[in-house]
Structure 1
Amino acid sequence: MAASALTAAAVFLLFHGGVLGFPAGQFTRDEPACGYKSCPATKPSMLNVHLVPHTHDDVGWLKTVDQYYYGDRNDIQHAGVQYILDSVVQQLQEDPARRFIYVETAFFYRWWKQQSAKTRQVVTNLVNEGRLEFINGGWCMSDEATTHYSAVIDQMTLGLRFLNDTFGACGRPRVAWHIDPFGHAREHASMFAQMGYDGFFFGRLDYQDKGRRMKDKDMEMLWRASESLAPPTADLFTGVLPNGYNPPEGFCWDQLCSDAPIRDDPDLEDYNVEEIVKKFLNAANEQATLYRTNHIIMTMGSDFQYENANLWYKNMDKLIRYVNAQQSKGSKVNVLYSTPSCYLQELHRANLTWSVKTDDFFPYADDAHDFWTGYFTSRPALKHYERLSNSLLQICNQLEVLGGSESRRGPHGEGDSDTLKRAMAVAQHHDAVSGTEKQHVANDYAKRLSIGAAHCQVLVSNALSKLSGSDAPRVYCENLNISMCPLTESSSKFSVTVYNPLSRSVSWSVRLPLNGTRYSVTDPSGREVDSQVVPVSQATRDIRKDRGYAVNELVFQVQAPPLGFSTYSVSLLNDHPPPASPNPGVPLYLQNKFLKVTFDPDTGLLSSLSNLETKQTVQLKQNFFWYNASVGNAESSQASGAYIFRPNSSTPVPVSLNAKTQTVQNSVVQEVWQQFGPWVSQVVRLYQDSRNLELEWTVGPIPVGDYVGKEVITRLDTNINSSGLFYTDSNGREVLERRRDFRPTWVLKQTEPIAGNYYPFNSRIYIKDKEQQLTVVTDRSQGGSSIQDGSLEIMLHRRLLMDDYRGVGEPLSEPGEYAKGLVVRGRLLLALTPPAAAADTHRPLAEELVLQPLLSLQAEDMHPNAVLEFSGLQAALPPAVHLLTVSQWDRDSVLLRLEHQFEAKESQTHSQPVTVNLQKLFSTLEVVGVSEMSLAANQWKDEMTRMDWKGNTGEKPLKRGTGDPSVWEVTLNPMEIRTFLLRMRHR
């Protein structure tokens, strides 16, 4: 069937007819009696108390994910997830009134694989009856501060797809459930809304915010989570749970608890039914005063509870029976087993008008001096490794599609993307990339990413062999940031293939360690490329020690086509003198045709930055400082730790007032090497054709021989009149305005002037006035602030000597090499622009750091007929469009996400609707079927219905196209992500 001849019916059948291998009932219009249909009856004239049996199972924290599943290392923490699921399933069969919710698909997936057919059938029946209900449903419960939206969408898709494949419609969660993350991001709420969730419940919010909400009975609200997407697209009903995620005080009946059981035999000593009933009625009525309807929710469970579910259910059965028995005596309290979905349904039936929230829930504090803002930066090396792993995973996914089946089993062995998908999904957990886990668990997360990367590298090699026609072995050098690559260090001739995962061409700077002094570099067409050799800095030699021996680096610019690769040839030229040694002393300035940066001749520090295109200059002084980490004082015993940032002074200590400088300048790059002391250095770098200034910082090992923990920042002080405002992105997407010492929804009593003004940023932070905007783009998630007008500070690294008493039980003091402390290196990119044009610069810049080109090297000569340049797209996509996902779904279908990456009023040029033709997208693949899905790809878009909360305008579902050419035309509005399942065939 010709693609142009596809009718709407044919498109429908291609997907709904089972061709794609979906299990029966996965996307059906008629659901069994699960979900809302299975909710128990309530009593309108009474206070209905919804008991929600649940367990909170961290996908790694004090123990690794494997140790938690098996119940290993109980000397650290008693927890065994497999036993929880065993016990709960057994107890649910005892009484049809009992309910249970489960959240972390990563654990359930493992457990399900080990079950017999009989047990699987029992569980399926429980799910179909709505008695075992999946909530949230992602692979993990992700962190909200330090995660990038693309990785969050991937991990949610992974978990939700498994539930769909296994249980069909009854396995689809209706409620998002983030009971433990330490603050809540607006972008997460937007994503949950676009995934089809009806509501969102969480446990943690700032103690002052919670106090105000309790007083005003505003514990539940409508969260309008986007300023660009028309309501109700990103609207999400949101509720604050009354007790975090724990049961009310005195009603914990797990084997880990010490509360008294219900002793209901009057012939025995310590009969306590009346006492328990009275206490529960008091708790219920007190909680009811904080909420607006005659329904309240109680979370009956906590961390890793229900290993012996009989304890919980036996006591809850009694509680329900004895409390409800009081109704005959005039009590107006009705207790029932329930789920968050059933509770949400009752709130919806109440038909109230809810308050609207438009900001986020950062930063989070649980007391006056206890701000959970340290984890925005904790474990910065792991945060960067996770970011690089995300980039590799997207490349792996793309090449699996472009390379076809040979990419999985090809000349370089068997490769797969699944191993890295699962490792990346685990890494999104709120005690993983957040940096709030024990050291041995952090090591395990990194190990999983490394194993996944190795699997993907095989797949990438196979795909590139298929697409290029060259089977020569490929090498991936993962330590180029410290000038280590055995192949380039020892070879006189090699090739470099640069794969670009973006949907537009990129120019990228390549730096390769080697020992020669002059090289010839040619592009795919054989043209000579300007290249220069520079010496390896002493700071880099100190970091790598004896793990590499290159004395120089080859620097050159590469161009790579959209969703494709370019191959460059590098050959050693003999008999050339060594590169010039760096010039000591402070240079007056560095300059290319776009930027000029000046230095203070007395201090060696930056002094100004100029945009030569717009004729703007900003005073810019940059230096490194550290906050003295509190170990507690008379005001509060709170210490800085993995979670908490608490400096003991508002004035940071400079590492040095001066920098020793050396300068390297050539036709490709200009660099100033700054040494601030034995443990802090930086390279100020300006490439020839760059519109941004690069600051490559190196911090560590942080010295603690003085018994002082240190929180290291870099601060940029300017003359920009920022008026107390600064701006941070939310999970890499929309930007939120921050005002110093201010919260939009309550009157803040500021008790920590530094930590209380810190916010997470995932890709960029900036300050501006009417004329100028200074944007800093980062290569990992970090914490930052503007403590003074015209100033930006970014926390880079932390090394602490105390635990902060939030459960991790050890100081954040990463050992690094030889247990002397971790050395971390990273990059900040600075852009100076007029505010109206800033987004046009910093959004593509941030995109390039999130999805970096991948370098692969070959030592053997290329096949004479090898393809040296390839693009998977027919043409570059418009600048506003980002190709967010290209991933193999099954043998004949591909998951595609297209994203408009600009906000509604952000860019005069790009904040407009954009249309893309799906059939004109790929160069080697033909699209012969298309159907639109929810953001998480677990529902058909036109079947996705959500609860409409009063105040909404009502959602109009997108309809599947017809047989005319418009079926292939996809229009994207600002900040819109559209998800498609494409039926493909190779041309």
Structure 2
Amino acid sequence: MRCIRNQTIAIVAVFVGIYFVFPLLLNNRPTVTYVRSGNARVKNNLKSKTLPVWKAVERFENASVQVDGSKTKLVSNLAMKHKKLEKLEVFIVLHSHVDPGWLETFDDYYAHKVDSILNLAVSQLTEHSDLRFIWSEVSFLERWWQTANETQRKRAKKLVAEGRFEICGGSWVMTDEATPYFWASIDDLVEGQRFLTEIFNVTPTTSWSVDPFGHGTMLPFMLPLTGIENLVIGRINNELKGMIRQQSLLNLNWKQSWANVKNGQSKPPLSAYVNILPNKFYTTWDACGPDPGVCCTFDLGPSARYPCSQKANDINAQNVKSYADMLAGQYRKLSKFYRVPSLLVPIGDDFFFSVIEDWTEVYNNYKMVIDYVNKEPSYNMKLRFATPGEFFASIPKKSKASAPSLSGDFFPYLDDRNNGFPAWTAYFAHLPYYKRMGRIVEAKLRSLDLLRIAAAPGSKGLEKLLIDSRRNLALFQHHDGITGTSKKHTMADFLQRLFYAYGNITEVENRLFKAKSKTPFEPLETLSNEANRFLTKKLFSKKKNPVSEIAIFNPLTIRNTRRVVVHSDSPKVKLILGADSKEIQAQVLPHIVDGAVSESVFEILFFVDLEPLAKTEVLLEFVDSQPSSTIISKVHSSAKKPNAAFKELKPGAAFVLKNDLIKAKVMDGKITDIDLQSGKSLDFKFELAKYSDRGGAYVFVPGTRTELPKLKHYFYVSGPLCNQVVSTAESVNITHWISVFLSKDPILDSSLDIEVFSDITKTIGETFMFVMGSGAIENEQTFYTDANGLHMMRRHYNKDESLEMNFYPSPSTSFLGP
């Protein structure tokens, strides 16, 4: 994990010998929290709470192909016998893979390549009526539209309406499928498809997602809901691809796990019909057939990256037969990997077709072969330039419905097992500061969308700021953005876009709150100076504002209790809830930085009951003497005595974190065991370890695992609302807080709350993990991770695989279970 930012959420691993990884990115509870000066009151009538229910789901039990990590189960031998020289229809799809940020930034790529690609695409398709082209990155298309002249716009609209310029997927970007949360992916789809509807009056019917590093279940679920039931995908476990290729299983119906559920619905659950590219990549060189030497011959144009001894760049009447035999032979072999007599063959590469010679060489030479093959009956084959829409339309509905079914996902992505870098699992948690910042912006944007509904009169004129924010967040969801796999300067550009979006959202929030009040509001968290762009909590000061009001918005559709922590320069504060003037119980916690208790900053913890989709206001008032409702914590420090404002805690041999539901015993700053309300006692381990890692941004190649030295400092904190232990590792600045709350809310009080912060500038080139486990949990080598926050996936630790191949993405949730 090579990170360049100070504050990060570290990786979590290991339960009872099972190793898996998920970045802890959802501690950011989606609450818009604001403060203003004044004395307004808001009435709050709290009703009973409803507990959320989680349900884990299995893979579709009747699926023909069931994928579980690197293991694949076939219900039977599904190999099919193809007819010799059966009629074959080949759809040659011209495309250009245009990453909106990778080796260059979005703006640089557009200026250097993409503007030319789209200009040439429109002119070449207008000139040649039989030519087709596809596009998937709406972000670039929107940029081109801004600068296109009237003639180009008219031609583009005509080509799109005719289906010759096909826009696949319609997302703002070709998203990563492992690490995003589904809210951002929905925005990615909506923002792109809204532009297409407004400008081109078109809704995509196909998806082209060929470069994400593994494919998950999110898009096969979401896309059919938008009318896209036909998908083209590319990167899946290469060993798995080789196996299903031999079974002619590169056409599949991708079923969701809940297809098992008998819910009485008249319609079956939505599924996606998937066409999987035959080899590793989407390039001409790798996708035209099983022989890369022949395919290289037909990789034409000056932008072609693969040199070979022969190029088919001068096909004429004298040599067309030999070239036609070569290409038709590849197509015939390729067709054996599929179950339908229709074949999709991509022609293109990264930022291909950016110069006119790419177009002319491809069109003129392929045109010669197409015409020759189509006229020669012995081939029994029809070739044509086409789009994915035309390809999928050629497959009868009956053939799609009867295609073998697939259940599961394609994580982790395995490249070549023999090349030393096989497991693409590092990007699940690489550059966690960037991932965290993206999640913060996402949460604030979603909350703001809901807040605008309640504040409609004040939201006029704010649409442009929100559109810009949404588009910059969507750009970050790209499979080289949120993954952290772009060049350093490109990742810096992504981060600046997130900062820009954060600033826009904050500005809109300010205006909305101001529209409802005569006094100004400011956010409780702000981005700090340009040199260190971190979120900084507002410090309440008696000198600046003796009385302030905190507004807390609940973006959830359920009532819930929210933990709130604010910073103050004095512990002598009183908190009052709404118009009832009821004092709220609060606890003063020490503000611990770099293993020391601050002398000038105090953390004020309190709990607030929130109504769904509603704003609650709390008054914070500085007073001259310590109020009885605000209790100062007792603190024990393993080092020097803490701030004199805190009473000294004398824990004895052990310290206990406890409430009515859970009790955790702590020795020397570490939890040793946990007692549950049920009476069951669990031994518990929570330690920091590290791996040397030579893999980089994409792949995890672990070396020796070593335990970090003993804790440098630890603190015990005790009070009426929270008991916690705060520990800092000795050789690296990584600190973790483990807390037990006494909020009287069964959700907050039933678990340990763990927060981790690190100074990643001191840990460059190393992968840190927190090792958690208990021998009392009999999970049978089984655990569950979420699929982009939509549902849970059952996982198994595969002892026959390497450590890195047992890592799975978990964007928001994970738990153990048999």
TM normalised by structure 1 equals 0.65
2:789 corresponds to 1:732 = yes
Label 1:399 to 1:344 Cα distance change in 2 as closer, same or farther (>3 A). same
Query: Which secondary structure state, in structure 2, belongs to the residue aligned with residue 255 of structure 1?
Result: coil
Of 548, 568, 580, the match for 2:618: 568
- Offset of residue 704 of structure 1: 5.9
CA deviation vs aligned residue, 1:375-429 (integer Å, no higher than 9, x gap): 11011111111111111111221222221142245xxx99832121111111111
- Offset of residue 701 of structure 1: 3.1
Query: Which secondary structure state, in structure 1, belongs to the residue aligned with residue 350 of structure 2?
Result: coil
* Whole-angstrom distance in 2 between the partners of 1:483 and 1:65: 29
- The letter of the residue matching 1:381 is Y
- Offset of residue 317 of structure 1: 3.7
* Whole-angstrom distance in 1 between the partners of 2:763 and 2:551: 43
Label 1:355 to 1:265 Cα distance change in 2 as closer, same or farther (>3 A). closer
2:240 corresponds to 1:240 = no
Runs of 5+ consecutive residues of structure 2 not aligned to the other structure: 1-84, 289-294, 529-533, 627-643, 744-748
Aligned to 2:633: none
Aligned to 1:150: 183
2:686 corresponds to 1:622 = yes
Higher relative CO (Cα under 8 Å, sequence separation at least 6) belongs to 2
* Whole-angstrom distance in 2 between the partners of 1:339 and 1:533: 64
2:769 corresponds to 1:713 = yes
* Maintained 8 Å contact 1:324/1:334: no
CA deviation vs aligned residue, 1:837-871 (integer Å, no higher than 9, x gap): xxxxxxxxxxxxxxxxxxxxxxxxxxxxxxxxxxx
* Whole-angstrom distance in 1 between the partners of 2:341 and 2:535: 62
- Offset of residue 686 of structure 1: 1.6
* Whole-angstrom distance in 2 between the partners of 1:367 and 1:215: 18
* Whole-angstrom distance in 1 between the partners of 2:233 and 2:336: 19
Of 386, 395, 398, the match for 1:338: 386
- The letter of the residue matching 2:92 is L
TM normalised by structure 2 equals 0.78
Label 1:296 to 1:668 Cα distance change in 2 as closer, same or farther (>3 A). same
Of 550, 565, 571, the match for 1:511: 565
* Whole-angstrom distance in 1 between the partners of 2:322 and 2:358: 19
* Whole-angstrom distance in 2 between the partners of 1:660 and 1:272: 78
Aligned to 1:960: none
Label 1:317 to 1:350 Cα distance change in 2 as closer, same or farther (>3 A). farther
* Maintained 8 Å contact 1:146/1:376: yes
- Offset of residue 736 of structure 1: 1.0
Q: How does 1:573-972 map to 2 (within 5 A)?
A: 573-575=623-625, 578-580=645-647, 587-599=654-666, 601=667, 603-612=668-677, 614-630=678-694, 640-649=695-704, 652-656=705-709, 660-679=713-732, 680-689=734-743, 690-701=749-760, 703=762, 709-718=765-774, 719-741=776-798, 750-751=800-801, 753-769=802-818
Query: Which secondary structure state, in structure 1, belongs to the residue aligned with residue 93 of structure 2?
Result: strand
Of 342, 359, 365, the match for 2:408: 359
CA deviation vs aligned residue, 1:723-776 (integer Å, no higher than 9, x gap): 12111110101111111228xxxxxxx55x21111100111111125xxxxxxx
CA deviation vs aligned residue, 1:101-143 (integer Å, no higher than 9, x gap): 1111111011112222222111111111111111111101111
CA deviation vs aligned residue, 1:864-912 (integer Å, no higher than 9, x gap): xxxxxxxxxxxxxxxxxxxxxxxxxxxxxxxxxxxxxxxxxxxxxxxxx
Label 1:310 to 1:132 Cα distance change in 2 as closer, same or farther (>3 A). farther
* Whole-angstrom distance in 2 between the partners of 1:581 and 1:119: 75
- The letter of the residue matching 2:583 is E
* Matched residue count: 678
* Maintained 8 Å contact 1:484/1:550: no
* Whole-angstrom distance in 1 between the partners of 2:795 and 2:767: 22
Aligned to 1:56: 97
- The letter of the residue matching 2:793 is L
* Maintained 8 Å contact 1:408/1:416: no
* Whole-angstrom distance in 2 between the partners of 1:98 and 1:429: 29
* Whole-angstrom distance in 2 between the partners of 1:540 and 1:66: 43
* Whole-angstrom distance in 2 between the partners of 1:616 and 1:419: 52
Q: How does 1:197-276 map to 2 (within 5 A)?
A: 197-227=228-258, 232-243=268-279, 244-247=281-284, 248=288, 249-250=295-296, 251-257=298-304, 260-264=311-315, 273-276=320-323
Q: How does 1:28-177 map to 2 (within 5 A)?
A: 46-71=87-112, 80-168=113-201, 171-177=202-208
Aligned to 2:33: none
- The letter of the residue matching 1:205 is I
Label 1:107 to 1:584 Cα distance change in 2 as closer, same or farther (>3 A). farther
- Offset of residue 595 of structure 1: 1.6
Label 1:722 to 1:379 Cα distance change in 2 as closer, same or farther (>3 A). same
* Whole-angstrom distance in 2 between the partners of 1:208 and 1:586: 54
- Offset of residue 437 of structure 1: 1.5
* Maintained 8 Å contact 1:477/1:484: yes
CA deviation vs aligned residue, 1:231-251 (integer Å, no higher than 9, x gap): 643311112112421113312
Q: Which range moves more in the overlay, 498-507 or 572-581?
A: 572-581
- Offset of residue 474 of structure 1: 2.3
Label 1:470 to 1:505 Cα distance change in 2 as closer, same or farther (>3 A). farther
- The letter of the residue matching 2:315 is D
Q: Percent identity?
A: 23
Label 1:383 to 1:362 Cα distance change in 2 as closer, same or farther (>3 A). same
* Maintained 8 Å contact 1:324/1:333: no
Label 1:527 to 1:190 Cα distance change in 2 as closer, same or farther (>3 A). same
* Whole-angstrom distance in 1 between the partners of 2:407 and 2:555: 33
* Whole-angstrom distance in 2 between the partners of 1:414 and 1:364: 39
- Offset of residue 187 of structure 1: 2.2
Aligned to 1:385: 437
RMSD: 2.6
Query: Which secondary structure state, in structure 1, belongs to the residue aligned with residue 423 of structure 2?
Result: coil
* Whole-angstrom distance in 1 between the partners of 2:720 and 2:411: 45
